[in-house]
Structure 1
């Protein structure tokens, strides 16, 4: 419990500077994810494991701040979220920037995210299937493909990964995969 409180405070501290700008809640998402669905960083090859549908994910996406720096990098939307495991395994909280790229003149979009995450997983000494993270703070990246199903609804197939990039070994990382439904405001 103490680790979860520290992790939540960490995400709030990271999100503080963004919250100070004139941004508003743009979209809320919720979905189900396969826990540790891929054993690696980039989701390629045959290392997939779809046996652990045990995560629930929530995300809040905000409008891009009206700042020149944000326009210069493509006007990403700030995002905060959590992936919660209901089988006693690792949970994570993340704060990141989310780029949504339309696919031509269709309702389909591609999505990329990059930021930071905190986890309550073991730092070392955990037995499989638990992961050893080396440190609680990690890099967060996400990729997805989605569609605007209606004026106020989205559906996104999403892959997320956390890792410390070998800054504090061991670095087993965590890769989750799932489907989210979003409601836009």
Structure 2
């Protein structure tokens, strides 16, 4: 499982690097290819691992629990536009976020698929983005050592929030906080969950 997540993350990281740097050779345009696949934005950043948040209020971080020595997660995300339809309209027209989070020190890493709703705050450049989806991780299910989490299930729910600012038409900066757990579906004794928070940059391709 660790190798699978590492492979997914490496693929996302390589693709992000290729697309962020303009690549044009023999008529090949990586950004244009990505747009053809429906990718509208690339995001990457670094996050603090294992913090405490208030249940069901993912932006309410317990800042006293934030250990700044735990800047341990590299996060990369590809955002896809979904086909326009009445169903997508009534769902709020979310984008689909495919992400990977790699922990530098061998703790919980994951691959994630989630719906991401972009909500601008009037014309201030500020935006809020709720996220809801699921992850597959490489952590312990039970009997975890003292510095790890009992996560119960290999597949977890994930919800979170981005609070960001549109720096330019292409570039955005955001604070991201996210929570992963199985919501007690795999037992009350193995639902420690994992929380992460940090800063990311986004680059629009459209």
TM bucket, shorter chain? 0.7 to 0.9
Higher helix share: 2
Asked whether the equivalents of residues 39 and 47 of structure 1 are also in contact (C-alpha less than 8 Å), the reply is no
Tell me the matched-pair count.
172
The aligned runs of 1:34-183 (5 Å cut-off) are 34-38=48-52, 41=55, 42=57, 43-45=60-62, 48-51=65-68, 52-169=70-187, 170-183=190-203
Q: Give the match's secondary structure for 1:150.
A: coil
Q: Which runs of 5+ in 1 are unaligned?
A: 10-21
- 2: CA distance, partners of 1:23 / 1:74: 22
How far apart are 1:173 and its partner, in Å?
A: 0.5
Structure of greater Rg: 2
- 2: CA distance, partners of 1:123 / 1:88: 15
Q: Which runs of 5+ in 2 are unaligned?
A: 9-35
Q: Give the match's secondary structure for 1:71.
A: helix
Segments ≥4 residues shifted beyond 4 Å: 6-9, 44-47
Taking a change above 3 Å as real, the CA distance of residues 74 and 23 of structure 1, as seen in their structure-2 partners, is farther
CA RMSD between the two structures:
2.0
Q: Does 1:28 align with 2:46?
A: no
Q: How far does the alpha carbon of each residue in 1:149-174 deviate from its partner, in whole angstroms, 9 at most, with x for none?
A: 11111111000110100111211000
How far apart are 1:47 and its partner, in Å?
A: 5.4
Give the TM-score normalised by the residue count of structure 1: 0.86
- 1: CA distance, partners of 2:3 / 2:88: 30
Asked whether the equivalents of residues 53 and 61 of structure 2 are also in contact (C-alpha less than 8 Å), the reply is no
Asked whether the equivalents of residues 40 and 175 of structure 1 are also in contact (C-alpha less than 8 Å), the reply is no
* Farther off after superposition, 119-128 or 60-69: 60-69
Q: How far does the alpha carbon of each residue in 1:9-56 deviate from its partner, in whole angstroms, 9 at most, with x for none?
A: 8xxxxxxxxxxxx96100000000000122553335555223311110
- 1: CA distance, partners of 2:194 / 2:153: 13
Q: Give the match's secondary structure for 2:141.
A: coil
Asked whether the equivalents of residues 54 and 62 of structure 2 are also in contact (C-alpha less than 8 Å), the reply is no
